[in-house]
Amino acid sequence: MSMLGKRVAALFRKRRLDGELQEEISIHLAMQEEEFRARGMSAAEARLRAQREFGGVTQIVEAYRERRGVAWVENTLKDLRYAVRGLARNPGFTAAAVLSLALGIGANTAIFSLVRNLMLRMLPVTRPQELVYLYRTGGWGRGFMSYPLYLDMAKRADIFEGAAARSGIWRSRFSRPESAGVEFAQTEYVSGNYFGLLGVKPAIGRLIGESDNLTPKGHPLAVLSYEFWRNRFSGDAAVLGATVVVDGQPLTVIGVAAQGFRGVEVEHHPDLWVPCMMYDGRIMNPGMNWVWALGRRHPGVSRERIQSVVDAVMQQHLTERYGKNNDADFRKSAFGQRLEVYGADAGISSLRFLFGKPLLVLMAVVGLVLMAACANLANLLLARGAARYREIALRFSLGATRARLVRQALTESLLLSLLGSGLGMGFAVWGQQAILGFLPSKTIDPFALAPDGPVLAFAVGISVLAAVLFGLAPAWRSTAVDPAAGLRGDGGRTTGRPVLRRALVVVQVALSVVLVSLAGLFGASLDRLRAVDVGFRNQNVLAFKLDCPAKWGHAQRQQVLDGFVDRVSRLPGVASVSYGFPGPFEMGRASASIRVPGSAATAAKSAEVASATVAPRYFETVGTRLLAGREFDAKDTKTSSSVAIVDEAFVRRFFPGVSAPIGRALSFDDSKPEGGERTFIVGVVQDIRHAGLREPSKPTVYSPVAQPQAMGGPSVLVDAQAPPAAVAQALRREMAKLSGEVVLTEPETIARHIDDSIFQERILAMLGGFFGVLALLLAAVGLYGVVAYGTAQRAREIGVRIALGARRSGVLWMVLRDALLLVSAGLVVGLPLAIAAARAVRAVLDGLPPAGLTMFASTGMVLLAVGTVAALAPARRAARMDPMATLRQE
Amino acid sequence: MSTGKSDVLQGTLDLMVLRTLESMGPQHGFGLAKRIQQISEGALELNQGTLYPALLRLEQKGWIASEWGTSDANRRAKFYKLTPAGRRQVTRESCDWERTVALMARFLRPAE
């Protein structure tokens, strides 16, 4: 074993080493004793004499131990000082090394921190690994299920110790007796066994129990979260028994949940829990999907077994509820539903479904980036090792061992790496913030970004790994020195090409090829979505909703809405204002079943179309082209004739071949083939992408607000010239003048809504592009270093060539050719890897375009271009060389 | 130094060990201790045990290396041997000593 190894091992094997010393001492004493006996002493006398000659054993062992420890610390400090001095002497090298490492480590830490928060953090509950949740798929929304379905599942005691239900986490109006103005709180409705199932204890008071969730509207209770209690009630125990009003319902606070328990969802956290029975709606309606089921499985029951039982229960449930339904289409969509069983140990997360896979792809990408940074650093260290050749030879001849020098070099690598990870933590916090900024604001509560234990451990772990990765080979290589030859001058310098450095450049190029082509793939995917015509041009239009008190009726809401629209339209700088349900980016939420008289498409049975309700000037405001006819106006009232505007998809489906079916009719009464009361088409607008940019437009019917088919909380749309923040402020001011009880939700531009709908693609394209460029930069630095070193080494040869009449352009080409050879080798290695990587990524992520030959070809061209640029400076230097000066120098 | 025996300076013990290993080849601790006492002909006040921290120090400096082996009497023992770096160290320190001794001798010579 090497000396270095011995010292490192000594730290961990104290006991064994002590044993070894003890053994050595007893052998020593035995030998001495034997000798004395051979001289004729008695056994007892010999032992005594031997001990006296040896001296105090304990003192010796102590001195030995101390020496062992001290040397370690001493040497480490010496190495550190040496490393610090060395790095301070080369600030350029140090800065480049620390920066490239910081980017690599920072990127890895940022992504890992997201992965940890989204997928790995265990719920702070009893035995979280036993928890599963059921995720509904196959139509009528995702995730949520109906309360009766949950009850059917909860009955299965053969697989579940128990199953609890919880709603989503919803923003509610919240008030206390002493509060003024409108406050909001995040509310979660839970079944009676929720806290018991999770094993959550109260901090004070009691939690919701089985007997608190028996009869609808019969349990006006609430439990507060610890943080909410701390922040809104200053942790006052007098809150027990107090009344709070949540969405108009007075509730009595019975307790506060234990500190640290923030619900079972990863990205949203409730402020208070209310029994399911208090939910304002028909709880037992099997068509209303509003709860998640959370089960604790019996130990030993596999996920597969649970899935098969759940499937059976689901089939039975569907047959009972929908088996006799006459509508084949309806039956088909009902029976298309399925419940998928997932582990809930790390909590429930909708964001995980949307963002989990892209995040894992990113984790792989940043891993490659770190490898590229390490390869680059190994290259820089090798270059420096070569430059320090004489110093190392000198230290060898002064008695340093190779192990000692390797250890010193590794100390330096470690120091670089830790400096890099220190700076990298900064990048990580910033980078994570940037990534979170890309997430739709509704998908995640702001969460603390301070890196916690596991994340710090990860950062330190990868920096040590990196230090070994990039440090070991250069340390070994640069200490392979023949001291005698080294001191003689240039004689000891390795002749020929620096094989290791060239190999590293090839690796760097190969990694860049992979990263650049992935970036190209992500970019192409985003471009494809960006090229889609969403159907409205005014993307700076601000959209928001009005949050009215729960008890308000339609008339009261409409009155405030009308008053508000009237006020806003008179504000200076506001071009137009309108509103509609559900709003341009949430279309497809409402649907209607219609008949179109004369159309073959509805002759046999009714057709399902998307429906929307829009106010006058709606299409003008969002910038949707009116292709024929007119928009709704003030003359379309409850008593005037029933009218509609349709989109192109509607015309294509129901009036094929007709360009503008103005005056034609449709009917919302779908009971007869020819429909009932007629609604006349007064306009045709261009298609609007309803369900995101990837889905084609559905046939859509727009109705005027005075004749609504379905109307929920409308989106208000304001087209104004001023910056969004200023407009939002003005809007809030207007609302305050009108009513103190109505609150605007955060106004956001339609552009932001569109961005939100493709946030995965945007994040991948942005980070992929950033890392692709970074890898290119690192490869260029590596290539430049190797080429510059190569030409410096061959200076004499090149000088001779020029002296003998070689043409400058020939020299230039000679150097360039060498660089391009390295790039080509990198391409040969990298392109198959890139093709494999693209294939792997496409298998994981949906909706990526195929990676065509042109993409890989252009990646190759980019790398050749970068290689040429990187090699050009040293090549031109070589070509401009003065042969006399070079030869004289030798 | 009325007793006629002298305490050992740390540096001198190091050199003695190195020099002994150089002349005798690999040795175990007891052999080294005996040899040093023999050469110094009892002029050295040395607890044999002091040798072991010194051996560790020399090993840490990379001048000697150790290995478990078997003694002449077929007994398990840890043997120490000189490394190339240790050999260079002996040469260097011997020169230093000779220079120091020569210098001191010049001062201590009775005035002429």
List the beta bridge partners of residue A595.
Answer: A667
Rounded CA separation A369/A60 (Å): 53
Rounded CA separation A106/A122 (Å): 24
Give the pLDDT confidence of A826-850 residue by residue, as tens digits: 999 999 999 999 999 999 888 788 8
What phi and psi values does residue B85 have, to the nearest 5 degrees?
Answer: -65, -40
Q: Are strands A338-343 and A700-704 parallel, antiparallel or unpaired?
A: unpaired
- Does residue A202 have a pLDDT over 90? yes
Selecting from B30, B50, B56 the residue whose C-beta is nearest the C-beta of A32 gives B30
Q: Are strands A243-246 and A542-547 parallel, antiparallel or unpaired?
A: unpaired
A400 touches chain B (CB under 8 A): yes
Interface-testing mutation among B30, B38, B83, B95, with chain A (most A C-beta atoms within 10 A):
B30
Which positions in chain A touch B77 (Cβ < 8 Å)?
Answer: 24, 27, 31
Q: Supply the mean pLDDT for chain A.
A: 87
Give the pLDDT confidence of A487-533 residue by residue, as tens digits: 665 544 444 457 888 899 999 999 999 999 999 999 999 999 999 88
What is the mean predicted confidence (pLDDT) over A660-684? 89
Looking at chain B, which residue has its C-alpha nearest residue A404? Answer: B62
Residue A304 has a pLDDT of 92
ipTM of predicted assembly, 2 dp: 0.84
What is the mean predicted confidence (pLDDT) over B45-53? 81
- Does residue A486 have a pLDDT over 70? no
Residue A495 has a pLDDT of 45
Residue A630 has a pLDDT of 95
Looking at chain B, which residue has its C-alpha nearest residue A17? Answer: B56
Residue A850, class by beta-carbon neighbours within 10 Å (0-12 exposed, 13-18 middle, 19+ buried)?
exposed
- What SS3 state is found at A213? coil
Residue A392 has a pLDDT of 81
Q: How far is B13 from chain A (nearest CA, A)?
A: 15
Tell me whether the omega of the peptide bond preceding residue A747 falls within 30 degrees of 0, making it cis.
no
Interface-testing mutation among A401, A402, A479, A487, with chain B (most B C-beta atoms within 10 A):
A401
Beta carbons of A227 and A263 less than 8 angstroms apart? no
Rounded CA separation A428/A454 (Å): 14
Residue A270 has a pLDDT of 95
Residue A487 has a pLDDT of 63
Residue A520 has a pLDDT of 93
- Does residue A11 have a pLDDT over 60? no
Give the pLDDT confidence of A99-112 residue by residue, as tens digits: 888 999 999 999 99
DSSP string spanning A673-723?
TT-SS-EEEEEEE-----S-TTSPPPPEEEEETTS-SS--SPEEEEEESS-
B75 touches chain A (CB under 8 A): yes
Give the pLDDT confidence of A48-70 residue by residue, as tens digits: 888 888 888 877 877 777 777 76
Residue A829 has a pLDDT of 95
Position A475 confidence tier, pLDDT thresholds 50, 70, 90: confident
Beta carbons of A699 and A653 less than 8 angstroms apart? yes
Looking at chain B, which residue has its C-alpha nearest residue A400? Answer: B85
Residue A207 has a pLDDT of 96
Domain B10-106, CATH? 1.10.10.10
Q: How far is A87 from chain B (nearest CA, A)?
A: 25
- Does residue A38 have a pLDDT over 70? yes
Higher pLDDT, A448 or A504: A504
- Does residue A82 have a pLDDT over 50? yes
What is the mean predicted confidence (pLDDT) over A234-263? 93
- Domain spans of chain B? 10-106
Position A710 confidence tier, pLDDT thresholds 50, 70, 90: low
Residue B59 has a pLDDT of 87
Model-level pTM? Answer: 0.77
Rounded CA separation A447/A794 (Å): 57
List the beta bridge partners of residue A611.
Answer: A701
Residue B2 has a pLDDT of 37
Give the pLDDT confidence of A381-397 residue by residue, as tens digits: 888 777 777 788 887 77
Rounded CA separation A797/A807 (Å): 14
Give the pLDDT confidence of A532-546 residue by residue, as tens digits: 888 888 888 999 999
What is the mean predicted confidence (pLDDT) over A812-824? 91
From A401-415, A577-591, A832-846, B95-109, the region with the lowest mean pLDDT: A577-591
Position A234 confidence tier, pLDDT thresholds 50, 70, 90: very high
Cβ pair B29:A28 closer than 8 A: yes
Residue B9 has a pLDDT of 60
